[in-house]
Chains A and B, each alone.
Chain A
Amino acid sequence: ETGVTQSPTHLIKTRGQQVTLRCSSQSGHNTVSWYQQALGQGPQFIFQYYREEENGRGNFPPRFSGLQFPNYSSELNVNALELDDSALYLCASSSQPRGSGNEQFFGPGTRLTVL
């Protein structure tokens, strides 16, 4: 069984650029959630995708957008990068949406640095 994978591992961008982060969910999982974890903080929920539709969103601006594909992999896109977007971006997959209390399996994260 393959766990959750994310790419790239590290990324450096400059302010104003756009970035795409990728996540492959665990086999059999149809739900993907994205989180932003600033240094020394807990993860903050960005949004969730369930069966290719957005299924809940946290307090993030519209320049944070996402996609989920038929194979349930997912992308997180961030436009007009700001310095405060520097963080570890975590992807988590589960076999059901979070509301069921189901376990989320996390990937190792993508470390984004915005200069």
Chain B
Amino acid sequence: GDSVTQMEGPVTLSEEAFLTINCTYTATGYPSLFWYVQYPGEGLQLLLKATKADDKGSNKGFEATYRKETTSFHLEKGSVQVSDSAVYFCARTNNNDMRFGAGTRLTVKP
């Protein structure tokens, strides 16, 4: 089964709206968790990461907190911009095994 499950898209928001993209994972041990972003026509870029429970990753106004008790790593941003339109991937790595979610397409309209 899937090791990373993220909210299905597409998600369409107006500029300055609040964003949440849910992500849950399954893994043995203590995985590291990531959010990657893929802009149109480009490769994946690391957005943020957290390597242990209760860590908060943040970058460019995006945040995600590693919640071991709920096995979650939800992505949030308080005020999205048109330039945030992209596909967002949640991922986890544990030993030599990196798994990605299916991706959530975000479109932000002016």
Give me the interface of A with B, judged by CB distance under 8 Å. Answer: 4, 33, 35, 40-45, 48, 55-56, 58, 90, 92, 97-99, 101, 103-109
How far is B44's CA from A33's CA once the two chains are assembled, in angstroms? Answer: 13
How far is B32's CA from A107's CA once the two chains are assembled, in angstroms? Answer: 21
Please state if A42 and B93 are interface contacts (CB–CB under 8 Å).
no
On whether A41 and B103 interact (CB within 8 A), knowing A90-B43, A103-B46, the answer reads yes
Of A58, A90, A99, the contact of B44 (CB 8 Å cutoff): A90
User: What range describes how many residues of B lie at the interface?
Assistant: 20 to 34
Is the CB of B81 closer than 8 A to any CB of chain A?
Answer: no
Is the CB of B89 closer than 8 A to any CB of chain A?
Answer: yes
For B25, list chain A residues within 8 Å (CB): none
Interface of B is mostly: strand
Please state if A56 and B51 are interface contacts (CB–CB under 8 Å).
no
How far is B96's CA from A97's CA once the two chains are assembled, in angstroms? Answer: 7
24 A-B residue pairs with CB within 8 Å: A33-B98, A40-B103, A41-B103, A42-B4, A42-B89, A42-B91, A42-B101, A43-B44, A44-B100, A45-B97, A45-B98, A56-B97, A58-B97, A90-B43, A98-B93, A98-B97, A98-B98, A99-B96, A101-B51, A104-B98, A106-B43, A106-B44, A106-B45, A108-B42
Chain A-chain B contacts (Cβ-Cβ < 8 Å), number: 56
Give B74-110 interface residues, CB cut-off 8 Å to A.
89, 91, 93-103
How far is B45's CA from A58's CA once the two chains are assembled, in angstroms? Answer: 22
Of B32, B96, B103, the contact of A42 (CB 8 Å cutoff): B103
Which 4 A-B residue pairings sit nearest by Cβ, starting from the closest? A56-B96, A101-B32, A42-B100, A106-B43
Of B49, B89, B95, B100, the contact of A99 (CB 8 Å cutoff): B95
